A and B are shown apart, each in its own frame.
Chain A
Amino acid sequence: MEQKKNILSVKNLSVSFKMYDKGLEQKDLKVISNLNISVQEGEILAIAGSSGSGKSLLASAILGILPNNASVDGIMTYCGMELTEELQKKLRGKEIALVPQSVAYLDPLMHVGSQVVGVRGTLEKMRTAFKRYELSKEVETMYPFQLSGGMARRILLSTAVIGDARLIVADEPTPGLSKEMAKDAMGHLRTLADEGRGIILITHDIDLAFEYADRVAVFYAGTTVETAPVEDFRNGPESLRHPYSKALWEALPQNGFKPIPGTQPYAGSLPEGCLFWPRCPVRTEACMKGEIPSRSLRGGEVCCIHAT
């Protein structure tokens, strides 16, 4: 693991939106704050967390396609270079690829083939990608609504391999898929990772993350509270560091289905101090003020002052 190259590292990333409150009062709505992740070659990093935690915005932030009223803070590094806006513009669709959720991300009125080619691919590359995913030539002239679920997944994957992506951001690639198809989709991502790519798997399906990822980052209220090797998550709460990760583990059906009391705070009404303190069973006075820094612990990263 130590020898592998870092493909992407994100340090202290924040994303906020300019919003107009009542009247003309303008305020910044922070949806991602102090987020830290890194992905290496050949690795699948799962970003797991319940919906509404701003995970999809992370994908847009990495690709540089956030809406105009968003502002980004923090440092992103891609293969040792700072990932500036210009670099993002140059790399997206080539070295950095997004694998979206569903066919809704394809133009309904355009043949699938020319969409896979896009503006940066070629016909030959598209055919190679189609061959790789066993898509027949007829598929090229099909419209998105004519694709079966499985075909659609493979089409979306071919958009990533056509540009020889080194970093793939897969945003919720499995919802709505049957168990077998989800497995199949994850298998494809695994292969892509084994070929040396770095993959960020954004998902709310925690089971899936535990099964296929190399490392898991737990996402809560717009930040990563813990990043740890997947084995720790398989081992259970004793190996985990953050109270929220432990609670998530215990909330899984196979581990007792214990719900976490309370709800995730919304952007705009985040608590001071540790974002999790209102729901944390082991909180102390110290947790409720100041910023809680991320620190290394037992081969992982954690954002909790009391974690051991």
Chain B
Amino acid sequence: MNTLKYLGSTLIRMLLLLFGVSIVCFFLIISSPIDPVDAYVGSESNISQEQKDVIAEHWGLNDPPVQRYITWLKNLLHGDMGDSIAFKKPVVQVLKERFVTSLVLMITAWVISGILGFILGILSGVFSGSVMDRIIKTFCFILSSTPAFWIGLLLLIVFSVNLGWFPVGFAVPVGKAAEDVTLLDRIYHLILPAFTLSITGVSNIALHTRQKIIDVMKSEYVLFAKARGETTWQVIKRHGLRNIAIPAITLQFASFSELFGGSVLAEQVFSYPGLGNAATTAGLKSDVPLLLGVALFSVLFVFAGNFIANLLYGILNPEIREGSEK
């Protein structure tokens, strides 16, 4: 019964959020100084003003904003998200294609940052106060105060331009036919963007894990475990991991928003054709349907992350899991 109620209220909250985000986005884009028709035809073209007016009329740009929003909303409720101006394709199709590309990038970065952050956090927490701890901490503080795109640029300059180890951009080799692209090609193109994207997540999870493990090592149950003959290593294995895993996993799922935000920047730097890159394009071309589509999609994505985090917390924590049975 409680679960149903929880699911219901979550669903309502999600719908409200989607609605709110779409309104804010819509009015932000239409107040953008970029004229969609100009962006569409390009500044060099010699299309006459009359022709431009025809396009604007065709797209419904001359209608009052509220009416335009309502039209969009009506179509959305019928499952139609409209066509992207920039890509000249249905928005749904763009989202689908782009998301698959982004997903690979985001999952890779997410897994790397989670594992790396967790390990660094444990090392620095267990040996807190040591030289290693100080190095890891400094490293994390620097990372967390550095924007992802800047790190991306740096990596690009060093590893792609100067050393030539990695490609300078895109998800597949330029000029290679789609059917010839190998998995290795894709991985090769993925490494730098994924690494860039993972870096911002690392410090978050590492610093959090560090603090948690310090608390755990100071806890009464660890003192008792030592009194019963457990070595430091056994204490970490038996009690440390168990007690820090739940908050770490929760945090990692709740970090979907940073992940998505970071992917917009990272994809831009590496010209990686993902969802974040599509969002930038849509913004620069005042592509209202696509931008709204991306916005809604990102809401769903972040919401899903938080939802999973909440669910997992309930499943993993015995106090909530078995406490509710009583």
Contact = CB atoms under 8 A, between A and B. Distances in A.
Interface of A: 60, 63, 65, 89, 92-94, 97-98, 100, 104-110, 118-120, 143, 145-146, 159, 163
B79 interface: no
A110 B242 contact: yes
A97 B221 CA distance: 14
A145 B225 contact: no
A62 to B, nearest CB: 10
A145 to B, nearest CB: 5
Interface in B265-319: 317-319
Q: Is the interface of B mostly helix, strand, loop or mixed?
A: helix
B223 A118 contact: no
B229 A107 contact: no
A60 B220 CA distance: 12
A65 B218 CA distance: 12
Nearest to A103: B221
| Most chain A CB within a 10 A radius of its CB, from B227, B242, B317 | B227
A105 B230 contact: no
Nearest to B234: A119
Given A100-B224, A105-B221, A120 B229 contact: yes
B322 A92 contact: no
A143 to B, nearest CB: 5
B227 A107 contact: no
Given A105-B220, A107-B243, A109-B242, A119 B323 contact: no
Contact of B230 (A93, A97, A100): A93
A98 B318 contact: no
Contacts of B226: 63, 65, 92
A145 B239 CA distance: 16
B228 interface: yes
6 contacts: A92-B227, A97-B227, A98-B224, A107-B242, A120-B229, A163-B228
Interface in B95-128: none
Given A65-B223, A119-B234, A109 B318 contact: yes
Nearest to A109: B242
B318 A93 contact: no
Contact of B243 (A93, A108, A159): A108
A65 B229 CA distance: 10
Contact of B322 (A119, A146, A163): A146
Contacts of B223: 60, 65, 105
A94 B239 contact: no
Given A105-B223, A143-B322, A92 B228 contact: yes
Interface string B197-235: 000000000000000000000001101111111100010
A107 B228 contact: no
A65 B221 contact: no
Interface of B: 220-221, 223-230, 234, 238-239, 242-243, 246, 317-319, 322-323
Nearest to A146: B322
B167 to A, nearest CB: 45
A119 B226 CA distance: 10
Nearest to A105: B224
B227 to A, nearest CB: 4
Contacts of A119: 228-230, 234, 238
B125 to A, nearest CB: 15
Contacts of B318: 109, 143, 145
Given A98-B228, A108-B243, 5 more contacts: A92-B229, A104-B220, A105-B220, A105-B224, A110-B239
Q: Chain A CB within 10 Å — which of B225, B242, B317 has the most?
A: B225
A145 B319 contact: yes
A97 B242 contact: no
Contacts of B228: 92-93, 97-98, 118-120, 159, 163
A163 B227 CA distance: 12
Given A143-B322, A145-B323, A107 B221 contact: yes
A10 B231 CA distance: 25
B229 A118 contact: yes
B325 to A, nearest CB: 10
A63 B221 contact: no
A159 B228 CA distance: 8
A98 B227 contact: yes
Contacts of A104: 220-221
A164 to B, nearest CB: 13
A145 B226 CA distance: 21
A93 B242 contact: no
Nearest to A114: B238
A106 B222 CA distance: 8
A55 to B, nearest CB: 15
A161 to B, nearest CB: 13
A110 B227 contact: no
Contacts of A106: 221, 224
B61 to A, nearest CB: 58
A125 to B, nearest CB: 13
A145 B317 CA distance: 12
Contacts of A65: 223, 226-227
B36 to A, nearest CB: 55
Contacts of B323: 145
Nearest to B224: A105
B35 to A, nearest CB: 59
A89 B225 CA distance: 12
Q: Which 7 A-B pairs have the closest CB atoms?
A: A93-B229, A93-B228, A105-B224, A98-B227, A107-B221, A143-B318, A65-B226
